[in-house]
Structure 1
Amino acid sequence: MEIESAGDDAFDDDFDEMEGYADTGPGVTRRVVTAAENRHASRGWWDADADNYQAEHGGFLGEADFVWCPEGLREADAKLLGDVAGRRVLELGCGAAASARWLAGQGAHVVAMDLSAGMLRHARDAAKATGIEVPLVQADAAALPFAGAAFDIVCTAFGAVPFVEDSALVMREVHRVLKPGGRWVFSVTHPMRWIFLDDPTEGGLHAVHSYFDRRPYVEYDETGAATYVEHHRTMGDRLRELVGAGFTLVDLIEPEWPEGHEQIWGQWSPLRGRLFPGTAVFVSEKAAVLR
């Protein structure tokens, strides 16, 4: 299976234009990042972490299954995408593409896309293991390399949206590549989680950050350059991004922590999950008739 790369060299060219950083030592902060710095950090992080991520979470996600969130909500049960048989589907931020392979198994015509070559390497290996191959594309979610109205459905489970500096642009790009009447469904960390520490224990039950602080969470190296970037948007921000791009919100799912589910995934845990939501799943549609 070939992995197509869209504009890969441009990512490095943009990063080279960034201003230099003073030698500050590695650390964590909240600060503004440029789009180029963000892309470089995200690609580098997920390339380097791909093996560890798959080793830790691959069993939970499955080889050909669609799991929306750490709470374990599966598309097979939730049916948020509707009938996918015969539909053209794009999965953004696909990682190892387990969801794309599940969709292919349901009769969908799927393209799986990710910024990270490391994650797509796992997608390629899993395709060989399962015998379910889908086209893989390496590209930036803020500049989708597809023609307008190319897909019936676009989806992502915790991919792309929180890792892009201009997530409103991602919404507009998704709207562009969707056919009229197409559906856009994505899951992200629930916005209210940003007021707490990423701690699955009692220490993560105390509010310590402002809900309204939209500066991204940034991990940086000894030169001050970002190595990991994740963005917070309020619930209102997300709704305005969708509406501004031309979508209509169909549903907003806040999965409850299921009984008997004891697996801890980062900051997600039974303790926290029983008290407040950890995931928000936005279900939206493009107008069937464009005015």
Structure 2
Amino acid sequence: MDVREYNREAWNRQVAQGSRWTLPVSPEVIAAARRGEWSVVLTPHKPVPREWFGELQGREVLGLASAGGQQGPVLAAAGARMTIFDNSPAQLGQDRLVAEREGLEMRLVEGDMRDLSAFADGSFDLIFNPASNCFVENVRQVWREAYRVLRPGGVLLSGFCNPIGFLFDPELEKQGTMQLKYRMPYSDFTSLTEEERRRYTDKGEPLCIAHSLEDQIGGQLAAGFLLAGFYEDLHSEGDKLSEYLSPLAATRAVKPAAR
């Protein structure tokens, strides 16, 4: 099973099913953003601190694997020059819908987040990358490409999953019991039996890959970034693991300015 191809079609199906992360923002949200009243998320709940963005007006911002008609249009309405890069044509269509409805200028590009060859070195001032790198292999390649397309002094804002959230028995978890079943490295594509995987594929859901914290945080550092911000967040309501710890996190990473 090809990871990129499967998840592209799965996210197309999520749009058709009206998944939470595919619902375009309302005209009221865009109007508020134009007045300077806005917030966006990298993880399910906590708004990203406004100071993490700095000045948005006129800055070149890449929404990396962040289509769906949500964060990108808000940032565009707040004054950013937005490019949205995503693997799902249907998700990009949600951004197009909002852009056309609200008269926003946004560039929409389809592609694999591990390969940003569509963009020249130093093309962007800021990259906004919500918790989506669990849908690709080799997250270190994502960090290297993000570093390349940022200008010196540019900022990468990224959300990601703590890999421990993928390792428990999902059937027992539904019964309120947290019991480790899988081990790292973990992937829905290779760690599950065919029967187990059908829990997700029969519903057309995306499949995930759990990246280690060494690859998530250490990978950003290895790419050349300096970490300048960090917070944790809970998962969706009813998530048993969230009763014990925060299974998602977000980082603010800076590409050092040229000397």
Q: Give the TM bin, normalised by the shorter chain.
A: 0.7 to 0.9
Where in structure 2 are the equivalents of 1:108-187 lying within 5 Å? 108-144=80-116, 145-159=118-132, 161-187=133-159
Where in structure 2 are the equivalents of 1:238-277 lying within 5 Å? 238-255=216-233, 265=236, 268-269=237-238, 272-277=241-246
- Contact kept, 8 Å, 2:25 with 2:69, in 1: the verdict is no
Percent identity of paired positions between Structure 1 and Structure 2? 23
Quote the residue 1:285 is aligned against: 254
Quick one: which amino acid aligns to residue 215 of structure 1?
A: Y
Q: What stretches of structure 2 of length at least 5 have no aligned partner?
A: 31-38, 190-196
Quote the residue 1:105 is aligned against: 77
State TM-score, norm by structure 1. Answer: 0.71
**Secondary structure at 1:143's aligned position in 2?**
coil
In structure 2, relative to structure 1, the CA distance for the partners of 1:84 and 1:269 (3 Å cut) is farther
**Secondary structure at 1:277's aligned position in 2?**
coil
1:170-194 per-residue CA deviation (whole Å, 9 max, x = no partner) reads 1100000000111111111223322
Question: What is the CA distance between 1:140 and its match in structure 2?
Answer: 1.3
Alpha-carbon distance between aligned partners in 2 of 1:192 and 1:179, rounded to the nearest angstrom: 34
Alpha-carbon distance between aligned partners in 2 of 1:230 and 1:270, rounded to the nearest angstrom: 17
Quick one: which amino acid aligns to residue 283 of structure 1?
A: R
Q: Which has the higher contact order (CA 8 A, sep 6+)?
A: 1
Question: Alignment RMSD, CA only?
Answer: 2.9
**Secondary structure at 1:249's aligned position in 2?**
strand
In structure 2, relative to structure 1, the CA distance for the partners of 1:204 and 1:103 (3 Å cut) is farther
Quote the residue 1:66 is aligned against: 40
- Contact kept, 8 Å, 2:11 with 2:205, in 1: the verdict is no
Quote the residue 2:7 is aligned against: 42
Quote the residue 1:214 is aligned against: 185
Alpha-carbon distance between aligned partners in 1 of 2:178 and 2:113, rounded to the nearest angstrom: 34
Alpha-carbon distance between aligned partners in 1 of 2:205 and 2:103, rounded to the nearest angstrom: 34
**Secondary structure at 2:210's aligned position in 1?**
coil
- Contact kept, 8 Å, 2:172 with 2:178, in 1: the verdict is no
- Contact kept, 8 Å, 1:90 with 1:151, in 2: the verdict is yes
Q: What stretches of structure 1 of length at least 5 have no aligned partner?
A: 1-32, 258-263
- Contact kept, 8 Å, 2:22 with 2:91, in 1: the verdict is no
- Contact kept, 8 Å, 2:61 with 2:80, in 1: the verdict is yes
Question: What is the CA distance between 1:272 and its match in structure 2?
Answer: 4.3
In structure 2, relative to structure 1, the CA distance for the partners of 1:143 and 1:194 (3 Å cut) is same
- Contact kept, 8 Å, 1:100 with 1:112, in 2: the verdict is yes
Alpha-carbon distance between aligned partners in 1 of 2:99 and 2:169, rounded to the nearest angstrom: 37
Question: What is the CA distance between 1:237 and its match in structure 2?
Answer: 2.5
In structure 2, relative to structure 1, the CA distance for the partners of 1:208 and 1:174 (3 Å cut) is same
**Secondary structure at 1:135's aligned position in 2?**
strand
In structure 2, relative to structure 1, the CA distance for the partners of 1:142 and 1:57 (3 Å cut) is closer
1:124-177 per-residue CA deviation (whole Å, 9 max, x = no partner) reads 122233333411111111111100000010111123x21111111111000000
